[in-house]
């Protein structure tokens, strides 16, 4: 019995069909549709963006640069301004959270 080989066959070419699509605004991240608050939302998991801070609408805390998170926007043709960046856990718990989150006195207002 000969040993197993884990090499890719040289007859296989690297065509564009084998490479993940980079067409979305966040590269090749997975995009799906989920329901939230009676609407259909487009949801995409993204790796952290260097140099950008986002405010999670679920917990009202910042998402620091380089931290993977979820981007969600209404599926009815909403624009870039309607995208919201959520912590993954906050998006998963969105139905269990209340809408009246209060900021602390020292929290920034954005």
In this predicted model, what pLDDT tens digit does every residue of 21-49 receive, in sequence order? 344 455 545 888 988 878 888 999 998 77
The number of C-alpha atoms within 13 Å of 53 and in the hemisphere containing its C-beta is 7
- What does pTM read for this prediction? 0.60
Q: According to the model, what pLDDT value does residue 51 have?
A: 86
pLDDT band (50, 70, 90) for residue 18: very low
pLDDT band (50, 70, 90) for residue 81: confident
Cα separation of 34 and 77, whole Å? 15
In sequence order, the β-bridge partners of residue 63 are 54
Q: What is the DSSP string of 1-56?
A: -PPP--PPPTT----TTTSPP--BTTBT--EEEEEETTEEEEEEEEPPPTT--EE-
Q: According to the model, what pLDDT value does residue 39 have?
A: 84
């Amino acid at each position: 019995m000969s040993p197993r080989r884990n090499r890719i066959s040289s007859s296989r070419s690297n065509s564009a069909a084998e490479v993940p699509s980079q067409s979305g605004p966040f590269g090749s991240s997975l995009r799906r549709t989920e329901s939230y608050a009676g609407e259909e939302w487009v949801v995409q998991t993204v790796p952290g963006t260097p140099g950008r801070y986002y405010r999670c609408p679920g917990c009202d805390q910042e998402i620091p640069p380089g931290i993977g998170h979820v981007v969600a926007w209404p599926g009815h043709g909403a624009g870039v301004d309607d995208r919201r960046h959520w912590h993954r856990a906050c998006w998963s718990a969105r139905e269990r959270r209340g809408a009246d989150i209060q900021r602390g006195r020292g929290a920034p207002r954005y």
